Amino acid sequence: MPTIRGTTRVFGILGRPVAHSLSPAMHNAAFRALGVDAVYVAFPVTDLEQAVAGLRALNLGGVSVTIPFKEDILDFIDEMSSDAALMGAINTVVNRDGRLWGDNTDWLGAVAALEEQTAIAKEHFLILGAGGAARAIAYGVTERGGTFTVTDLDPARARGVARDAGGEAVPLKDLPHCRAGVLINATPVGMAPDADAIPLDPNLLGRFHTVMDIVYRPLQTRLLREARARGCKTIDGLRMLIHQAEIQFQLFTGLTVPRDLMAQAAYGELAAESL
């Protein structure tokens, strides 16, 4: 563990739940490797407005933002990037001399993770979920020339994502008729402790050539196992998390993380927990 001094800058992640997050492992590994006098911790938030006020009052350097606050936090910051404004979701807040600036690195993380396995341009994607992560993924897909269909238990939220990112929304009952070649689970379904849950009928998986899950605890979700059994290429939830964290770290510090450093920290943390 690094030595904590009076000069140590504090960064963190706001969410609920947040104890499971691998972001502290990744960012603290990067701080150590680059000799940055900083620490990154998890903040389980019960009141977002008060949490943001605390961020200001304590002069934190910045925070990551996760479930369920990526959309709500727009109401409490001073300014944001044009990307974040278009998405309607923020996953990164940087304290710039007392002004809180929001951005979204999720869409770049999603694009990078997808491009490791499949092309995006001219591909059609089915996105399960309509929260902040889904908004970022939909934005990234359209920015890279793809198209998407989105569905959610809340049809109004799905229609909002489709409207804002230029896709289509369908009810869950119409999934068997979706023409997508890539499936992305942007919901928490399948996250531990409910690791046997799956967000759609596994018999539908054979119609996709690639399946991505943003859940990373467990790393190999039931969705990914069922998809591989049907011949699909799969993308685990850490890929998007790692890619977005590398960009986030640069926003926090102005420094570039050595390639694969955060990946080693994240996968190593999961491996250590399984011992």
Residue 94, helix vs strand vs coil: strand
**CA separation for the pair 260, 22 (Å, rounded):** 15
Residue 148, helix vs strand vs coil: strand
pTM exceeding the 0.95 threshold for the entire prediction: no
Question: pLDDT tens digit string along 228-247?
Answer: 999 999 999 999 999 999 99
| 9-104+239-273 and 107-235, same CATH topology | yes
Task: Kindly indicate the confidence band of residue 216, based on its pLDDT and cuts at 50, 70 and 90.
Answer: very high
Question: How large is the greatest C-alpha to C-alpha distance in the chain, in angstroms?
Answer: 59
DSSP H stretches of helix in 117-182: 132-143, 155-165
Average confidence (pLDDT) over 160-183: 96
The confidence score (pLDDT) of residue 38 equals 97
For the chain, the first-to-last Cα distance in angstroms comes to 21
List active site positions: 70
**CA separation for the pair 65, 212 (Å, rounded):** 21
Bond preceding residue 202 cis, omega within 30 of 0: no
Other C-beta atoms lying within 10 Å of the C-beta of residue 196: 8
Yes or no: domain 9-104+239-273 corresponds to CATH 3.40.50.720 = no
Q: Which strands form 210-213's sheet, in the order they lie side by side?
A: 168-169, 147-151, 124-128, 182-185, 210-213, 233-235
Cα 58 to Cα 40, 51, 94, 196, 208, distances in angstroms: 14, 10, 13, 41, 48
Of the options 3.40.640.10, 3.30.360.10, 3.40.50.720, 3.10.20.30, the CATH number for the domain spanning 107-235:
3.40.50.720
Task: Kindly indicate the confidence band of residue 56, based on its pLDDT and cuts at 50, 70 and 90.
Answer: very high
